[in-house]
């Protein structure tokens, strides 16, 4: 378990993390989301004792990371995949780590096999591709069979097979009761992987809730309706808490009403429906709705101009 209480980090006048309080529980995969500059990497570094909080505290399994007698068995972390000695082979890099923690060579070979680097374990890590470097970083995190995993952008550079592999691995580890905490900017992958979401913006906590609650609460479902009498139906559906948009000939998008309500209204008025479909908000849509005001680096080109 990871527990942060009032966690704050200031670099001069820059407030990178602003009073974060949250708990990352074992047995679930917790996704850590936020725009660039939101404080995610700084928070992860403070969890690992690489940065000291300006105020507040953070513990892993009941203690600050540095106070554990066998820290690698408590927390395995991937914060920077390229943080390896480029002249060492992948196996020798892991053997050097293992030697500091009393871990045998058999475990080194085991994690090399787990991450799919068996054929290149003797090659210099400096010649690895981005995806191979990610696999080596994940092997390093898994080396001591830790109770807690902290992974910063673990799927960066992986091919589709590698992405599926890390997703299934994390689900298995969480299923064993371990604490899994990961960040990613790939919303589609996070939606498939994470059970719980912690969202930050400008260093502040914006949301701490289950994935289902996060998506449901951030954006209302949209119902697409297609009818030869779309104009008449729009008039019947209009209301104070209802938004009806005419998006194409004979096609409406409705927010604020269920598809059941719309269908019953249309039937009662003798209106023919050619299509009635609910579009649930995606994780990306929910994320964008909540973080729009927290984006530090915004393009000067409107996305509608690009789409045009």
Q: Are 294 and 202 in contact (CB under 8 A)?
A: yes
Predicted confidence (pLDDT) per residue in 248-279, tens digit: 999 999 988 999 999 999 999 999 999 999 87
pLDDT tens digits, residue range 26-79?
Answer: 999 999 999 988 999 999 999 999 999 999 999 999 999 999 999 999 999 999
pLDDT band at residue 99 using 50, 70 and 90 as cut-offs: very high
- Tell me the whole-structure pTM to 2 decimals: 0.79
Q: What is the pLDDT of residue 220?
A: 63
pLDDT band at 306 (very low <50, low <70, confident <90, very high): very low
Share of residues in the chain with pLDDT > 70 (%)? 93
pLDDT tens digits, 196-215: 999 999 999 999 999 988 88
Rounded Cα distance, 199 and 294, in Å: 11
Distance (Å, whole) CA 21 – CA 4: 5
Instruction: Report the CATH architecture of 220-280.
Output: 2-Layer Sandwich (3.30)
Q: Where are the domains of the chain?
A: 2-217, 220-280
What does the alpha-carbon distance between residue 2 and residue 149 come to, in Å, rounded to a whole number? 10
Domains 2-217 and 220-280 equal at CATH topology level: no
Alpha helices in 129-229 (DSSP H): 130-142, 160-175, 187-193, 211-218
Position 2 confidence tier, pLDDT thresholds 50, 70, 90? very high
CATH superfamily of 2-217: P-loop containing nucleotide triphosphate hydrolases (3.40.50.300)
Q: What share of the chain is helix, strand, coil (3-state, %, to 5)?
A: 40, 30, 35
Buried b (16+ CB within 10 A) or exposed e, 200-215: bbbbbbbbbeebeebb
Read off the DSSP letter of residue 276: E
Task: Tell me what pLDDT residue 250 has.
Answer: 94
More confident residue, 188 or 93: 93
Task: Identify the pLDDT of residue 83.
Answer: 77
Looking at residue 205, what is its pLDDT? Answer: 95
């Amino acid at each position: 378990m990871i527990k942060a209480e009032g966690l704050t980090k200031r670099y001069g006048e820059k407030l990178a993390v602003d009073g974060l309080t949250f708990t990352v529980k074992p047995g679930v995969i917790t996704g850590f989301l936020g725009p660039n500059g939101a404080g995610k990497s700084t928070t992860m570094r403070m969890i690992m004792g690489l940065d000291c909080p300006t105020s507040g505290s953070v513990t892993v399994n009941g203690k600050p990371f540095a106070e554990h007698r066998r820290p690698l068995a408590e927390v395995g972390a991937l914060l920077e995949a390229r943080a390896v000695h480029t002249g060492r082979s992948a196996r020798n890099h892991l053997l050097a780590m293992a030697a500091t923690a009393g871990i045998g060579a058999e475990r080194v070979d085991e994690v090399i096999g787990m991450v799919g680097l068996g054929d290149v374990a003797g090659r210099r890590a400096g010649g690895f591709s981005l995806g191979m470097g990610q696999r080596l970083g994940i092997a390093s995190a898994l080396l001591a069979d830790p109770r807690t995993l902290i992974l910063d952008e673990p799927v960066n550079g992986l091919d589709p097979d590698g992405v599926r592999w890390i997703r299934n691995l994390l689900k298995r580890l969480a299923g064993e009761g371990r604490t899994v905490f990961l960040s990613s900017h790939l919303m589609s992958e996070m939606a498939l992987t994470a059970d719980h979401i912690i969202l930050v913006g400008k260093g502040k906590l914006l949301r701490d809730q289950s994935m289902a609650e996060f998506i449901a609460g951030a954006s209302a479902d949209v119902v697409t309706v297609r009818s030869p009498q779309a104009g008449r139906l729009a008039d019947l559906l209009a209301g104070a808490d209802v938004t009806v948009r005419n998006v194409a000939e004979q096609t409406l998008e409705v927010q604020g009403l269920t598809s059941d309500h719309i269908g019953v209204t249309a039937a009662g008025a003798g209106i023919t429906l050619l299509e009635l479909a609910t579009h649930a908000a995606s994780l990306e849509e929910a994320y964008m709705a909540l973080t729009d005001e927290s984006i530090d680096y915004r393009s000067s080109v409107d996305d509608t101009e690009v789409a045009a």
